[in-house]
Amino acid sequence: LPPGAKLTAVMDCCHSGTALDLPFTWGGPLGWTEEDNPCHSGGDVVLFSGCQEEQASLEGGAGYSRPMGAMTTAFCNTVERQHRQGQLEQLTYQCLLEAMHKELKAGRFSQVPGLTASQRFDATKKPFSPIEGIEGNSNPQLGREFRKKKQPRRRNLLGGGLGQMLAAGAAGFTAGAGADAFQGELPGELPEQAVAEAVRDLLEPLDSQDLIATAGVASASGLCGGGD
């Protein structure tokens, strides 16, 4: 994005924390943290993400008579509430992020919304606006900077649709196996044994470390994908 242009993105989808690969991540009292190998641009890009990179975004609202993602619902509720109170101009980026986090936490959602940007700015003072208040370029170098060598990340086998497909397959397979056991088609085996064997057969090809690393995401309830 060239200098003088602004993009405000709201992405309520799984693993959206790094969706735009922006160099700066807002950490509240810690301020902005720059990526180890940042990719800088001259434009002003801001991303509100529905969750962190390793998390899933869940469905959790019915705003505008339609199902909505939990983060989308919290975002709209916060902006509309400030507008009704005549305080929209006082809603800073930090306050918006905090309000969304509180609403998600109150609704028992484990996902944590995030704020990333292409330019540093004072999120505690700057009023939120999707189109106004363009930040000028303060990055001395544009493009990718390689500062730190990193090891390739392990594949997250259960973090996406694979985990859901495995769960659905295990449920269907074990239900059928259990029914067969009750009907005598599996002599000498109890339904519990059939269930254990089915789960073992499904998970055996997967790396044990992948199972441990993705247990939290794979066990999350709700639909993955977020709002419009």
pLDDT over 90 for what percent of the chain?
52
What does the pLDDT read at residue 17?
84
d(CA 40, CA 22): 8
Spacing of C-alpha 113 from chain mean position = 7
The pTM of this model reads: 0.64
Q: What is the mean pLDDT of residues 193-214?
A: 45
Integer Cα distance of 48 and 227 in angstroms: 13
pLDDT at 121: 97
CB contact at 8 A, 120 and 138: yes
Model confidence at 210, in pLDDT bands (50, 70, 90)?
Answer: very low
Per the CB < 8 A criterion, the answer to whether 113 and 100 are in contact is yes
Structure tokens belonging to residue 137: 């370029």
112-131 pLDDT, tens digit per residue, is: 999 999 999 999 999 999 99
Q: pLDDT-based confidence at 65, cuts 50/70/90?
A: low
Topology classification of domain 6-144: Rossmann fold (3.40.50)
Residue ranges of the domains in the chain? 6-144, 161-205
Q: How far apart are the C-alpha atoms of 57 and 111, rounded to whole Å?
A: 7
Q: Give tens-digit pLDDT for 140-186.
A: 999 999 988 877 666 555 555 555 555 556 555 545 544 444 444 44
DSSP 140-184: SS-EE---S--PPPPP-SSSSHHHHHHHHHHHHHHHHHHHHHHTT
The pLDDT assigned to 163 comes to: 57
Mean pLDDT, the chain, as a whole number?
76
**pLDDT of amino acid 147:** 87
- Give the pLDDT score at 214: 31
DSSP readout, 35-57?
A: -SS-EE-SSEEEEEESS-TT---
